[in-house]
Structure 1
Amino acid sequence: MANPLRQNIVALTILQAANMLLPLATLPYLLRVLRPGNFGAYVFAQAIVGYLVLLTEYGFNWSSTAYVARVQNDRYAVSKIFWATQGAKALIAVVCLAILLLAAFFVARLRELLPVLLATYPLVIGTVLFPQWLFQGLERMMFTTISILSARLLLLPLTLFLVHSPADTWIASLISSTSMVAAGLVALILIEKNRMIIAMMPSKADIIEALREGWHTFISTAAISLYTTTNSVVLGFLAGNAAVGYFGVADKIRNVAQAPLGPLSNAIYPRVTALFSEDSAKAFALVRKLFYLLGSTMLLASVALWAGAELIVRIAMGPGYEPAVVVLKWMSLMPLLIGLSNVFGIQVMLPLGMKKKVSEILIVSDFSILPFSFRLDRFTALRARQCLPSPPNFLSRPQWLST
């Protein structure tokens, strides 16, 4: 691997390690302060806003990354892609806010959670501001690490200082979501300081073209969300906040277990994309190395989750989260499956121009499994109603929403 690739992997590994370690300073605290029902509301709001984040990203993290990687030495071309992509994301973010408010107006469950939902919405704003796809395409992932890490370290103490009771659920959500906004601002400062982009106004045609080019990758990432985000949303409507809390705890542990996937995938993707346009033999050689590395790593992660589920939940979460053990065991195979999907879908099919095929595969797979997901969520809902106490009225309406 060339030196820039090694540097990117190191930078993303540092970031991923920080993403694993920094939550340990606040997550156990939040779990004990908010309790399962209130933590479930926190997770449920993140899942709902997660749809808006997904819509705002619109697959640009893959489509725009690929285009920047191909023209990374042409500052004007990179700038044109940057402003077209940012303009498209900004327009989508405005639509997302309107969708959120309309949904809360018509759906009582969302209206009840409106303070937490609004406090979580800055995630969408941060998604607009933070151009991870640009740093990825230029193979300068150290800027990603600097931006995100500095923002999270800055806001980390606020959780301990300001969140003291279940009524502070919206504050916990606001602190978490604001970190993404701060990361975006740091990223823009770095872009300006290093003169990476030329100032220009994107044309309507450029924005439409960016949306058109990102469509198939958007469909692919939207399909993936059906088995990552939708479970929390469906469970929240059917079973209430406590059940979402148990599911959310298990899902966060699963995310930690598959953390090595992120640095390798994000660092190698632009290099593989460039190699496929220059030397396909070298590209496939790099993909084979990734397959063996990710396959073995994610297999170990899956085995560790299955074998250590009870111990992990007991140590990390404390009493009251025992039902999360079974959920975590059911999720234990996901790191391996997601790792293999990433190698074959993201690292091979997308660079080869098979975006439509990737989206078709994911859509067919997700719609095939979706009925089983709903049946499982209904079963979980019945168990939750029978075995769990009714969650308390966990939200006190903030003063700033009452005036």
Structure 2
Amino acid sequence: MRYIFKNYSGEEKTVAKNYSSLVVLQGLNYVLPLLIIPFLERQLGLEKFGLVMLAQYLMAFCVAATDFGFNVTATREISILKNQKGDYSTLYFKVFWARLILLLIVFMLLCLIVFTVPRFKVEWHIYLLSYGAVMGQTLLPDWFFLGIEKMKFLTIVNVGAKILFTLLLFLFISSPADYHYVPIFNSIGFMTAGLFMFIVSMKYVSWQWPNFKDSSLFYKESFQVYISNISSQLSYAANGLILGIFAGDAVVGIYSAFDKLIIAVRKMFLPFYHAMYPYLARKSFYEKKGTMKKLIPTVTIFGCIVFLLILFVGEWVVNLIYENIEIHQNVYLFKWMGLITLFTGLSSLFHSLYAPARKLFDQRMYMMLISGIFNISLSLIIVPYFQLQGTVIAAISTELLLLFIAAYFYRKDQLNG
């Protein structure tokens, strides 16, 4: 590994090392779904599998709500403090205490939803047990380690937690009656990583009690990202939730079988974007512009290759890893969902890398809000009639719209910059 990095110097070496660490973690995110999702589909059956996946879609909203956009704003501010050799403590604990308060508020809201909506009340314990993953994600200071550009140890801990979760599943789940273990083990994995990395982060900061003075601008920018992230979940988690309401757990199971594979593939771009973000945030406008001109054609070509692979070998992959005949009968939908990987790779380049690096938080908010509202509106119109097919149409259409909007804002910024 040292031999690989010796040709790099300074910031380039840091980016390369962080990217390598994130690639290892993302590689695990490719492999594990190929093991876990088919295993759960076989052991739990389509209905119980769909139920635990429905709970995970709901938890995605909760994670976005408790983060409050700090994954973007705090990472950027920490990277600037690192460059200035400043103290991290004040910013760290502004984020830490705010997230703990949000964790409590979101839990109360979750309880309200679970115990008042009949669709969720029947299996209320699954949703509350799943909240442990949100607790672990709230404690996990991944934003901090991204900001200080020390991803190696964070990657090791995350990998360990994911392997622990996987082993527990394979050891203890053998029938549909064991479905309640899935949220328990998932929570154990997230809590283990969150607590461990929180303890490690304490060596970089000095303890501080809540102090929110002189934080209005930081929280305002974070709120804009927060709205963006919540809106983004309207383009992801809402698909599974709306489908579950109108079509039932079994159909959610079919959609999740495809969606989890697509998510694993679409996330292939994130390690690079995450590694580049602190670096790009410190650069001038013209340096950012030059970097983007190089990235856009590369991401486009790579995304096209991935889509073609899914189109031509997707059926073989699905038939290989899943046993359920209903999943096999709907494999054509999985092929077309491959378009999502192409659209997401490009739109994320604009809204997850360029816009935050340029502090275009309001533009990013508009992008995500428009696409999120569009997704929910379209889903509510077509899913009651077309069910699974309607959800897939809504998901693809939303990602295409987001790409057009992101490209528009990017072009506008380039002309005005």
1:226 aligned partner, one-letter code: L
Aligned length: 379
The one of 231, 247, 268 aligned to 1:260: 268
1: distance between equivalents of 2:13 and 2:280? Answer: 15
1:304 maps to 309
2:340 aligned partner, one-letter code: M
1: distance between equivalents of 2:77 and 2:180? Answer: 38
1:327 aligned partner, one-letter code: L
1:113 equivalenced with 2:113 (yes/no): no
1:273 aligned partner, one-letter code: A
2:366 aligned partner, one-letter code: E
Residues 4-403 of structure 1: pairs in structure 2 closer than 5 A: 4-73=14-83, 77-192=87-202, 195-205=203-213, 210-275=218-283, 279-320=284-325, 321-381=327-387
2: distance between equivalents of 1:126 and 1:53? Answer: 10
2: distance between equivalents of 1:175 and 1:59? Answer: 27
1: distance between equivalents of 2:328 and 2:243? Answer: 18
CA RMSD of aligned residues (A): 2.1
1:210 Cα deviation from its structure 2 partner: 4.7
Q: 1:208 to 1:34 in 2, by over 3 A?
A: farther
1:13 Cα deviation from its structure 2 partner: 0.3
1: distance between equivalents of 2:239 and 2:233? Answer: 9
1:311 Cα deviation from its structure 2 partner: 1.4
1:350-387 Cα shifts (integer Å, max 9, x gaps): 22222111211322233334332223321244999xxx
2: distance between equivalents of 1:207 and 1:151? Answer: 34
Contact 2:242 2:379 in 1 (8 A): no
1:301 Cα deviation from its structure 2 partner: 1.7
**TM-score (normalised: structure 2):** 0.85
1:328-357 Cα shifts (integer Å, max 9, x gaps): 133211111111111122222222222111
1:285-315 Cα shifts (integer Å, max 9, x gaps): 2233332332222222222222223212111
1:392 maps to none
Contact 1:247 1:324 in 2 (8 A): no
1: distance between equivalents of 2:116 and 2:278? Answer: 43
1:13 aligned partner, one-letter code: V
1:220 Cα deviation from its structure 2 partner: 1.3
Query: Structure 1 stretches (4+) deviating beyond 3 angstroms?
Result: 73-77, 206-211, 380-384
- Name the stretch that deviates more: 287-296 or 54-63: 287-296
**TM-score (normalised: structure 1):** 0.88
Contact 1:313 1:324 in 2 (8 A): no
**Percent identity between the two aligned chains:** 25
1:2-23 Cα shifts (integer Å, max 9, x gaps): 1000000000001101121233
Q: Secondary structure at the match of 2:213?
A: helix
1:266 Cα deviation from its structure 2 partner: 0.7
- Name the stretch that deviates more: 348-357 or 131-140: 348-357
- Name the stretch that deviates more: 73-82 or 59-68: 73-82
Q: Secondary structure at the match of 1:179?
A: helix
1:144 aligned partner, one-letter code: L
Contact 2:33 2:264 in 1 (8 A): no
Contact 2:235 2:371 in 1 (8 A): no
1:231 Cα deviation from its structure 2 partner: 0.5
1:223 Cα deviation from its structure 2 partner: 1.6
Q: 1:93 to 1:210 in 2, by over 3 A?
A: farther
1:178-210 Cα shifts (integer Å, max 9, x gaps): 211111122123323xx2112222303367665
Q: 1:68 to 1:234 in 2, by over 3 A?
A: same
Q: 1:383 to 1:2 in 2, by over 3 A?
A: closer
Contact 1:120 1:174 in 2 (8 A): yes
Contact 2:141 2:201 in 1 (8 A): no
1: distance between equivalents of 2:194 and 2:143? Answer: 12
Q: Secondary structure at the match of 1:366?
A: helix
Q: 1:191 to 1:369 in 2, by over 3 A?
A: closer
